[in-house]
Amino acid sequence: MNINCAEACLSYVNRVLILAFLVMAVVTPQLSQAQEDAPQAKSPLTPKFVIGNAVSLSNQSYPEIEKAIQRFRNRDVAGAQDFLEKAKSKYPKLPPADVMMAKMQLLVRNARYVQFLLERVAMQHPEDPEAYLMLADMAFSAQRTAESLALFDAATPLVKKFTENNKRKRDFRIRLLAGKSAIAERRSQWDRANGLLQQWLDIDPESTMAHTRKGSVLFRLDNAKEAMAEFSKAREINPDAPHPFVALGRLFYADGDNENARKSFEKAYNGNQSDPAIARAYAEWLIQQ
């Protein structure tokens, strides 16, 4: 390498580091203040987590669920199970007691007991799809993609025939589409993933996740313009979603297209220099360079 080339490279590196430092100078104090202002993290073990989307929690309380949670926190699993059984008996639209207990056990990473509970649900409540959906999600997370797809396929006719609770049925349909589209994405089956995600949006057009994932799939289908529209819609629904140009920049970077990644991050940052999330994303990309 000649001296001029070395000096040019060093100059570029210095500029990047300086810019990254300036960006982080904007981000750090705002993040520190946000951390000071943030409330203490709440436990994820709540009635909403246990019940899921089975019923509305806005106009009715479920004291048996609250008591089950308290017993579980006190390590009284048998007592918690008893209250879950009472809740299901009193409110038939709730999921099976074993499904609710499986969700609790998931939080403490008791995978073997979760598996046992869900297998029992599949045997005792063969008409209820949720055990298959949960097992499919677990298999997907463990990289057992073929097994996950088989479980989603097993759940599909059960979801179609399910009539016990329309609110749960809608949730099941979304979970099926979300899971099957994730498998298609993992296998780079972009057209199939796009169709499944559109079906999800037909059911829930206000889903930030569905719009974001559809944007990523459209990018893979060489349609950056429509991808931007999906990212913009996701941010319109949820201001905490990534800025459209940040989302696009990350995809360009993942594809090895650093020039378009740079343009995307710069467009995001230049128009929103006071946004700490955008500044942080831009700084992280600069440092990676």
Asked whether the CA dihedral 199, 201, 202, 203 is positive or negative, the reply is positive
Query: What local confidence, expressed as pLDDT, does residue 57 receive?
Result: 65
Tokens 């990676």 belong to residue: 288
User: Is 27 within 8 Å of 277 (Cβ atoms)?
Assistant: no
Query: What local confidence, expressed as pLDDT, does residue 2 receive?
Result: 53
232, two tokens: 């913009």
Query: What local confidence, expressed as pLDDT, does residue 34 receive?
Result: 42
Query: What local confidence, expressed as pLDDT, does residue 203 receive?
Result: 97
Asked whether the CA dihedral 172, 176, 179, 181 is positive or negative, the reply is negative
Within 8 A by CB and 6+ apart from 23, the residues are 269, 279, 280, 282, 283, 286
**Which segments of the chain have a pLDDT < 50?**
3, 5-6, 8-10, 13, 17-18, 20, 22, 24-41
Query: What local confidence, expressed as pLDDT, does residue 60 receive?
Result: 74
Buried b (16+ CB within 10 A) or exposed e, 24-35: bebbeeeeeeee
